[in-house]
Structure 1
């Protein structure tokens, strides 16, 4: 019998941290800050800070679970250990969908920026981008990670440039001006959470990481902390330059901000940086989706053919191909803010389950080795994941009813699909 080909362990703390920062700092902040400012006004920085609480509490839960179960199937494995196969399948389904829908939407965002330079329809350049990045993922995890690192440095430089541009304007506006009151700040917080998505994708690289029990939790928490600091500073700088009214109506908020402060050359520079940001996000969303498809197939929850690893490249080529095809189908999705909130729904539900899994496993498997433990417990009850659950529920109630309806339909669809795979689960 031919021995099973394993994924290649190439990644260290630097690659994991920068890959995490890369997807977190991707298209969300570049595309959604204008829409969020329309809801929260100059207090949009507060919306980013509130969203960060969900990321921090849930990130700690991911860190503990990833140290216990260093598997590419990530959320599916965590949910299965705590709640059983049925709910695990639904969570895996939601995570796959969030990555695929997100990648498709951001690819169209890339197409919009690309169109401003070369007059190529966004749909065409979006298709080409998905195909090209899927080939890169097939070619090798190390090459993909280094592309992500380069793109991360570029897009992080763009955010630092925005902060620099805003420095002379600090104090020019009232940073607590809320045109829609606290309700607007909360709604914006639910929307901009899309800008934080990605930290959860880090755990899907466990089987390609050196010493994953220690490296994954450290890289995850570092990526979240770096992103929070940059986001709050960028939000303050952006409203300082333009005020919330102008920023809210901009289709390319950072590029327009640069034009106001520094002229047309800065506009071009920020547009190029936005291309790197959106491409990087698509790459890492496709990476995360393909890895959980692979992980679920490897555990026989999905058809085992999806777990095939290419013997030469040592990458899960079938899972990558499926993620690519589905993303190309979903590229016809509409408004980025609406679709971002659908992705947020799937993540809030997933994060609810992840935080609950940490609490339950402290009782169910107290003796299991935990190289990383979420701090602050009362007996066996761990407190911070409970706050993560409360914040997830709060964020769900900030979403519009149509998003909740579509999200509920996706959950029901996953539940029905789990019965199609009844022999597997």
Structure 2
């Protein structure tokens, strides 16, 4: 696997600076954890979801460090598909790319359904379908449009989260006595909640998967990744603590819109409408950035023959992988009609945690004077990813493992078929 795109494949344009990269990372993360993953995390860990949040953040930091170092060394689209292919071999690269595409496609469906649940609780699926169609079109217009729209969505999301915290803490219902039941399911509950909350932190990789479109990637990416992650950790901690104080873990665990439930409980219930609007906007921001990242990974895999080569097309004027984006939109539409929100979160978390385990393994092999600090972090990050993935619900582990295995089998068949055709021509 070469370090640059094939000569006959048009390059993507480098248009993103540090600010745009941070905003895309924020747009990918903000909303997923606060508006979607807090409910199942509370069911698994009770008030211990705050501990789980710290665990997920620590694993995410290790992964972010590994991702940033690798992205600076290999500044092209594809993320860990590229890094694992360079450092570990093509089979591991394919497994990482397949895991990312499969897991994040499930994330897209989850975010579309989250948007529907907040925007129109009685009819979430039509809203989800409309969102996928519109945002697929936005991504096909070019990465600058994606970054511009994401900036607006991030600002609106932060305003909604500020309203949620104000309603939870200022509505007269906040009570420290609700912070009980820290370990209802023991250590396994904490790790399972951390795995579910990790779903919320994985957006920092969107910066790496857009590496071919970032200006001065060796300098920009290592700055943007940890900064975006730190900002999101601070926001999540504040919102999570406020929601637990307002209604406790029990109500969060049973609600499909946990922040709206928390905001509605006190004397500032009118802010629940703002929170619902914010939840829909936040999910739209995450969905937009997710689809951009998956399209670029699909482009990288198609360039090297791991996916059908017609997906490697780059639009001559918009300079985006338009075929990959359109196919992704179609697949997400099908999933929106078939999947359950919480099941999609668990499945996505499993595939993405294994993706980051390979990220850490690839970063462990990097040479250079700074590897003495990097290697302990990659060992910790890799072990953390495997532990969290293993403690997810059985259906997520079995379903995710089965799809990853199916991808490897299909790749082996494709490689053998391609080799047979080459032999027949010679």
Shift of 1:32: 2.1
Residue segments in structure 1 that go unaligned for 5+ positions in a row: none
User: Could you tell me whether the CA contact under 8 Å between 2:78 and 2:301 is conserved in 1?
Assistant: yes
Shift of 1:164: 3.3
CA–CA separation in structure 2 for the residues paired with 1:262 and 1:149: 32
After superposition, the C-alpha distances for 1:303-353 in whole angstroms (9 at most, x for unaligned) are: 322111111211111111111111112223433222211111111111111
Paired residue for 1:126? 128
Shift of 1:175: 5.9
TM-score by length of 1: 0.90
Call closer, same or farther: CA 1:72–1:200 in 2, change over 3 Å.
same
User: Could you tell me whether the CA contact under 8 Å between 1:78 and 1:354 is conserved in 2?
Assistant: yes
Call closer, same or farther: CA 1:151–1:408 in 2, change over 3 Å.
same
CA–CA separation in structure 1 for the residues paired with 2:390 and 2:90: 28
User: Could you tell me whether the CA contact under 8 Å between 1:47 and 1:185 is conserved in 2?
Assistant: yes
Residue segments in structure 2 that go unaligned for 5+ positions in a row: 1-6, 420-426
How many corresponding residue pairs? Answer: 409
Alignment of 1:162 onto 2:149: no
Alignment of 1:30 onto 2:35: yes
Alignment of 1:97 onto 2:102: yes
User: Could you tell me whether the CA contact under 8 Å between 1:175 and 1:236 is conserved in 2?
Assistant: no
CA–CA separation in structure 2 for the residues paired with 1:237 and 1:50: 19
Paired residue for 2:144? 142
User: Could you tell me whether the CA contact under 8 Å between 1:61 and 1:355 is conserved in 2?
Assistant: yes
CA–CA separation in structure 1 for the residues paired with 2:155 and 2:378: 32
Paired residue for 1:226? 231
1:305 to 307, 310, 324: 310
Which 10-residue stretch deviates more, 338-347 or 158-167?
Answer: 158-167
CA–CA separation in structure 2 for the residues paired with 1:259 and 1:122: 20
Matched residue of 1:361: which SS?
Answer: coil
Alignment of 1:166-245 (within 5 A): 166-167=168-169, 169=174, 171-174=176-179, 177-245=182-250
Paired residue for 1:412? 405
Shift of 1:172: 4.5
Shift of 1:415: 0.6
Paired residue for 1:403? 396
TM-score by length of 2: 0.90
Which 10-residue stretch deviates more, 327-336 or 138-147?
Answer: 327-336
Call closer, same or farther: CA 1:74–1:186 in 2, change over 3 Å.
closer
User: Could you tell me whether the CA contact under 8 Å between 1:333 and 1:339 is conserved in 2?
Assistant: no
Paired residue for 2:373? 376
CA–CA separation in structure 2 for the residues paired with 1:3 and 1:407: 35
Shift of 1:112: 2.2
Alignment of 1:354-365 (within 5 A): 354-362=359-367
After superposition, the C-alpha distances for 1:246-292 in whole angstroms (9 at most, x for unaligned) are: 22222211112111234442111111111101111111111111110
Which 10-residue stretch deviates more, 396-405 or 337-346?
Answer: 396-405
Which 10-residue stretch deviates more, 293-302 or 346-355?
Answer: 293-302
User: Could you tell me whether the CA contact under 8 Å between 2:313 and 2:323 is conserved in 1?
Assistant: yes
